[in-house]
């Protein structure tokens, strides 16, 4: 990665092409947010449903204000968290500023736009050099596991189709928090949890912010026997190829492997566990065809490793990936937010397809 790579990437973007770039969360699939054709290319490359809007990446508040209507609350959030892993959904600006603002395709046809300034030197260099807003959905095929390494992007897209800027591993590892500031006078709501939690947003706004999760604030439910309850309520996303199941404790692996389907096939089951005693516990169960991938014990490190470990598990070609449910709360509100964002991704990875 050097200056010449940025110059080539900007040329590609100006020609309406696609450039994958690193951010602090995951790699994004960049294209000119003002170009209908470039944005259409992103949807086609990802196989993404056209009603799912894209996040627009900006270098900072100045460009954000040309694309969206930011009130005092929105500005306070940008001051506190930008550049950083927070996408703010605001009403779109009416046609002013940058050549008519972002295209309708970016917004999924809606009246709002999600804006974010990424905290990564390569992403910011690209944005400043390009001088315009870039869409940046995660650089994976729709529904798949998000990329945290340039190699992950290159597995999904041909280099002729997508020019990839290699900025090493993404630190945060899971996608940005998406917050919607609500109707006028209404409450802000987290639409997608990330490492910045509702409590942290609320502390800046001086008001309660609704968390994500199911209506009524029930959050993600884990049911009887530790197997995820009603996964059909959740759209499948962030999903590996192999079937993925979340269990409350490792004894649950016994039941799953005992299930006819897995036992008869004589295949492999990969277990992802954060437990320090996972190896001993699995040894005690004495099961055939079970391999352990150890996950970090600490929340931020777990988030950073999650997608790469899921891909590693998938690459072994297992019949199932069993994830030992991580803690639902930490010692601080910040840590709890990270565990909840992780559980959101695990719930989607294990949702029915
Ligand atoms: O961390 C991230 O946000 C990464 C990196 C590359 O920046 N990008 C990312 O983009 O995750 P994507 O497209 O994979 O996810 C965008 C999410 C989707 O859940 C989408 O529905 C939501 O943001 N979104 C985008 N625009 C929206 C809008 N106007 N209103 C509500 N939700 C919106
Ligand atoms: Mg995505």
* Residue pLDDT, tens place only, 141-176: 998 999 999 999 999 999 999 999 999 999 999 999
In 42-118, which ranges are E strands?
55-57, 86-91, 112-116
Mean pLDDT of 282-289: 85
Mean pLDDT of 78-86: 98
Which has the higher per-residue pLDDT, 272 or 101? Answer: 272
In 79-217, which ranges are E strands?
86-91, 112-116, 134-135, 162-164, 177-180, 188-192, 209-210
Q: Which CATH class is domain 243-349?
A: alpha beta
Chain centroid to Cα 77, Å, comes to 20
Name the pTM for this structure: 0.91
Closest listed ligand to the CA of 156:
2
Q: What is the DSSP letter of 220?
A: S
Task: Find tokens 């939690």 and name the residue.
Answer: 197
Q: 280 CA to middle of ligand 1, Å?
A: 40
Nearest CA to ligand 1 atom 6: 28
Q: 54 CA to middle of ligand 1, Å?
A: 5
Q: 43 CA to middle of ligand 1, Å?
A: 13
Nearest CA to ligand 1 atom 12: 137
Query: Of all atoms in ligand 1, which is nearest to the CA of residue 192?
Result: 19
CA atoms of 159 and 43, how far apart (whole Å): 17
Q: Is the pLDDT of residue 286 over 90?
A: no
Nearest CA to ligand 1 atom 10: 137
pLDDT value for 99? 46
What does the block give as tokens for 218? 């029930």
pLDDT value for 213? 61
CATH number of 3-226: 3.90.870.10
Which of 43, 54, 83 has the most ligand 1 atoms within 8 A of CB, as the residue to mutate?
54
CA atoms of 234 and 350, how far apart (whole Å): 9
pLDDT value for 260? 52
Residues with CB under 5 A from ligand 2 (ion): 138
Q: Does ligand 1 come within 6 angstroms of the Cβ of 144?
A: no
pLDDT value for 306? 98
What integer best gives the mean pLDDT of the chain?
Answer: 88
Q: Which of 278, 314, 318 is nearest to 294 (CA)?
A: 278
Closest listed ligand to the CA of 173:
1
Task: State the span(s) of the chain assigned CATH 3.40.50.11030.
Answer: 243-349
Closest listed ligand to the CA of 27:
1
Task: State the span(s) of the chain assigned CATH 3.90.870.10.
Answer: 3-226
Label residue 43 by pLDDT band (50, 70, 90). very high
pLDDT value for 223? 34
Q: 308 CA to middle of ligand 2, Å?
A: 15
Considering just the CA atoms, what is the radius of gyration of the chain in Å?
Answer: 21
Q: 142 CA to middle of ligand 2, Å?
A: 7
């Amino acid at each position: 990665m050097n200056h010449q790579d940025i110059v080539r990437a900007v040329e590609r973007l100006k020609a309406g092409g696609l450039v994958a770039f690193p951010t602090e969360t995951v790699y994004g699939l960049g294209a000119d947010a003002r170009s209908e054709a470039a944005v259409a290319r992103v949807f086609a490359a990802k196989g993404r449903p056209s009603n799912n809007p894209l996040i627009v990446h900006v270098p900072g508040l100045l460009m954000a204000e040309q694309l969206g209507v930011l009130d005092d609350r929105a500005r306070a959030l940008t001051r506190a968290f930008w550049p950083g892993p927070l996408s703010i959904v605001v009403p779109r600006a009416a046609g002013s500023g940058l050549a008519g603002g972002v295209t309708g395709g970016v917004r999924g046809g809606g009246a709002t736009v999600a804006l974010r300034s990424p905290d990564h030197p390569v992403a910011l260099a690209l944005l400043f050099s390009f001088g315009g807003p870039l869409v940046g959905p995660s650089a994976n095929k729709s529904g798949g596991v998000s990329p945290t390494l340039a190699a992950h992007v290159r597995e999904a897209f041909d280099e002729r189709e997508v020019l990839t800027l290699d900025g090493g591993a993404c630190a945060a590892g899971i996608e940005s928090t998406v917050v919607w500031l609500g109707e006028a006078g209404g409450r802000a709501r987290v639409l997608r949890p990330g490492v910045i939690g509702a409590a942290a947003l609320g502390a800046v706004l001086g008001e309660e912010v609704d968390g994500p999760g199911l209506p009524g604030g029930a959050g993600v439910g884990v049911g009887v026997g530790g197997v995820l309850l009603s996964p059909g309520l959740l759209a499948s996303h962030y999903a590996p190829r192999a079937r993925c199941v979340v269990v409350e404790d490792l004894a649950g692996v016994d039941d799953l492997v005992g299930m006819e389907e897995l036992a008869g096939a004589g295949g492999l089951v990969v277990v992802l566990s954060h437990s320090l005693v996972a190896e001993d516990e699995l040894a005690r169960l004495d099961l055939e065809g079970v391999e352990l991938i150890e996950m970090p014990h600490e929340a931020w490190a777990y988030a950073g490793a999650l997608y790469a470990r899921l891909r590693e598990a998938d690459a072994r070609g297992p019949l199932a990936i069993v994830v030992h449910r991580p803690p639902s709360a930490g010692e601080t509100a910040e840590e709890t937010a990270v565990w909840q964002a992780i559980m959101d991704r695990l719930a989607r990875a294990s949702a029915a397809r």
